Amino acid sequence: ASLIVVGYAASRPVVPGDTEEARALNRRVEFHVLPRN
């Protein structure tokens, strides 16, 4: 399997807004595990 790690905070926010709480919720890393073909 392949592992892809991407940070989306600035380009794909989960919640809108520029408050400290919104920025904290948007700080994340997503992991995608892809099957090996």
Cβ-Cβ contacts under 8 Å for 2 (sequence gap 6 or more): 33, 34, 36
Delimit the domains of the chain by residue range: 2-34
What is the pTM for the complete model shown? 0.57
Which two structure tokens, joined as six digits, stand for 26?
């948007």
Q: Residue 30: count other Cβ atoms within 10 Å of its Cβ.
A: 10
pLDDT of residue 16: 94
Q: What one-character-per-residue DSSP string does 1-37 give?
A: -EEEEEE-TTTS-SS---SHHHHHHH--EEEEEE---
Entry field: residues in the chain: 37
pLDDT by 10s per residue, the chain, length 37: 899 898 887 789 999 999 999 999 999 888 999 998 7
